Amino acid sequence: MKLNINDTFNKELPSDPELSNERRQVAQATHSYVEPVVPTHPKLIHFSNEMVEAIGLTEEEAKSKEFLEIFSGSKIYPQTRPYAMAYAGHQFGNWAGQLGDGRAINLFEVKHNKKRWSLQLKGSGETPYSRQGDGLAVLRSSIREYLCSEAMHHLGVPTTRALSLMLSGDDVLRDILYDGNPAYEKGAIVCRVAPSFIRFGNFELFAARNDTKNLKKLTDYTIKHFYPHLDGATKETYIKFFKEVADRTLEMVVHWQRVGFVHGVMNTDNMSILGLTIDYGPYGWLEGFDFGWTPNTTDKQNKRYRFGNQPNIGLWNLLQLANALFPLVEDAEPFEKLLNAYGSNFEKQSLEMMHSKLGLKIVSEENGKLFADLEENLVATETDMTIFFRLLSNLKKGQPDKSLETVAKAFYNPNEINSEIEERWKVWFKAYDLKLQEENDKDDTRKASMNAVNPKYVLRNYMAQLAIDKADMGDYELIDELFNLLKRPYDEQPENEKWFAKRPEWARHKVGCSMLSCSS
């Protein structure tokens, strides 16, 4: 198994001179060298063929003993030095100081077909940044991350990827609900893949310590390798860099809103400098359409990271990044202009996104009322977001009276649709039909365009939990079934129609299906 190793992060940036693995504050360094813990009985459960090929390997090599050893952390690939990254962050709006890779170890960087990939093991042991944790991960959360990161990619959402999912062969103690009842679970290791795992928090760490020298080194490195079209290490370049990060972050969040994804933990240490969805913890897709929903038990009271607040949190996090980059520019005005533009840019992109979801090509601000009225109707009774928008494409122009029947499968409790709510829907469908009549698209053309942005299949929490339950019993077939299902989320896939369904009632309040903790 030969990889084209092309390490840059741990060669071009300052490392921690201390090689012990004790928890500590690490100063003037972007990373600490650390070796993965050797798992007792590693076993490969699943791998992504796409990512195997992306890093320059074959399917046959992915089934080899060497692949198992390298990507379980059992052996270190020749001429490489694994490391954990140092970063800080704001967690739930509060400054948390130094955080860092507490249960992630970067193995190496690979360059293949002119693309750079950093490969990182999650759940491979302690680092100087593990704080009170053991650096390990459990099968439950590892399955969720493995399936979700690949599913998000095929949905067209900017994301980190996953190469492999393995059992460690070791048991890991976790308190899943933080209620004082810990239990042992199967340990697991996911190999995560991204061009880079640099986060907003990497910059915040140096800025908080007034270490402008290393802040500049990190920023110049990031621009050189991931924003190479930006020339020179000047103040103007740093502003352009921030603008591109803001644009990418906004694009990512708009995609989240489009598919109904809720990240759950939008702390600044969980924000990628490349605008990628990163750190799949207590995430979830909307079941019933609800701007106030969050899947995170830790956020249950304040709902800071609720679905409807994700765009605002994206802006808040960008403000923290702007504060971190300020020492390189020493002028607040250009940052303020870009931050102020975020709001108007979101409104514009959100408007365009809603037009696409409804199959309307003529983008007009006048349609804002149509969208607002739709959202009011969706929350009037519990309505499955994914199913509603997918079925909406089946409407025929000139037949608004049949529309409610067309989307009926999306309603959880049809009996709750009283005469008043039914009348509101009829008014809305008539207004929507008038908009469709104004456009020249045939029904089939509109249906195709709508189905290209409204997925039929998403990784609902109950689906992931079913795969977890089976995997706990040693059956990994459902992981493979869901993995392949979610590679074609916009296709009809009639053989998989059973997954185009509302969350079953048994999953409404079940742990892992409704609310989740950060425990992994």
Can you give the residue range of the structural domain that contains 416?
Answer: 362-440
Q: In degrees rounded to 5, what are phi and psi of residue 416?
A: -80, -10
Closest C-alpha among 456, 481, 486 to residue 467: 481
Closest C-alpha among 330, 325, 323, 89 to residue 205: 89
Residues 37, 97: one domain?
yes
Span 143-172, mean pLDDT? 97
Residues 105, 192: one domain?
yes
Residues 102, 154: one domain?
yes
Residues 184, 241: one domain?
no
Residues 271, 340: one domain?
yes
Residues 29, 177: one domain?
yes
Please give the share of the chain, as a percent, with pLDDT higher than 70. Answer: 98
pLDDT of residue 193: 98
Total domains, the chain: 4
Instruction: Identify the three-state secondary structure at position 293.
Output: coil
* 423: pLDDT strictly greater than 70: yes
Helix intervals (H) in 473-517:
477-485
Q: Are 249 and 317 in contact (CB under 8 A)?
A: yes
On whether residue 305 sits in a domain, the answer given is yes
pLDDT band, residue 232 (cuts 50/70/90):
confident
pLDDT digits (tens, 9 = 90+) for 62-118: 999 999 999 999 999 999 999 999 999 999 999 999 999 999 999 999 999 999 999
What is d(CA 275, CA 271) in angstroms, rounded to the nearest whole number?
A: 7
On whether residue 455 sits in a domain, the answer given is no
Q: Are 433 and 403 in contact (CB under 8 A)?
A: yes
* 520: pLDDT strictly greater than 70: no
Look up 443 and say whether it is catalytic: no
On whether residue 451 sits in a domain, the answer given is no
pLDDT band, residue 449 (cuts 50/70/90):
very high
On whether residue 456 sits in a domain, the answer given is no
What is d(CA 459, CA 471) in angstroms, rounded to the nearest whole number?
A: 16
Residues 37, 183: one domain?
yes
pLDDT of residue 517: 66
Residues 160, 176: one domain?
yes
* 519: pLDDT strictly greater than 70: no
On whether residue 279 sits in a domain, the answer given is yes
pLDDT of residue 513: 80
**Domain boundary residue, one of 336, 356, 376:** 356
Closest C-alpha among 95, 46, 53 to residue 71: 46
What is d(CA 457, CA 482) in angstroms, rounded to the nearest whole number?
A: 10
Residues 368, 352: one domain?
no
On whether residue 206 sits in a domain, the answer given is no
Higher pLDDT, 515 or 266: 266
**Domain boundary residue, one of 133, 165, 200:** 200
pLDDT of residue 133: 86
pLDDT digits (tens, 9 = 90+) for 481-506: 999 999 999 999 999 999 999 999 99
Span 375-384, mean pLDDT? 95
Residues 350, 367: one domain?
no
User: From the CA atom positions of the chain, what is the Rg in Å?
Assistant: 24
On whether residue 3 sits in a domain, the answer given is no
Give one DSSP letter per residue of 213-228, joined into a string: HHHHHHHHHHHHHH-T
Please give the share of the chain, as a percent, with pLDDT higher than 90. Answer: 91
On whether residue 517 sits in a domain, the answer given is no
Residues 61, 129: one domain?
yes
pLDDT digits (tens, 9 = 90+) for 258-302: 999 999 999 999 999 999 999 999 999 999 999 999 999 889 899
pLDDT of residue 372: 97
* 303: pLDDT strictly greater than 80: yes
Q: Are 520 and 138 in contact (CB under 8 A)?
A: yes
Q: In degrees rounded to 5, what are phi and psi of residue 119?
A: -110, 130
In the set 16, 101, 211, 269, the catalytic residue is 269
DSSP state of 491: S
* Average pLDDT across the chain, whole number: 95
Of 73-77, 209-213, 232-236, the one with minimum mean pLDDT is 232-236
**Domain boundary residue, one of 159, 176, 200:** 200
What is d(CA 265, CA 47) in angstroms, rounded to the nearest whole number?
A: 26
Residues 265, 386: one domain?
no
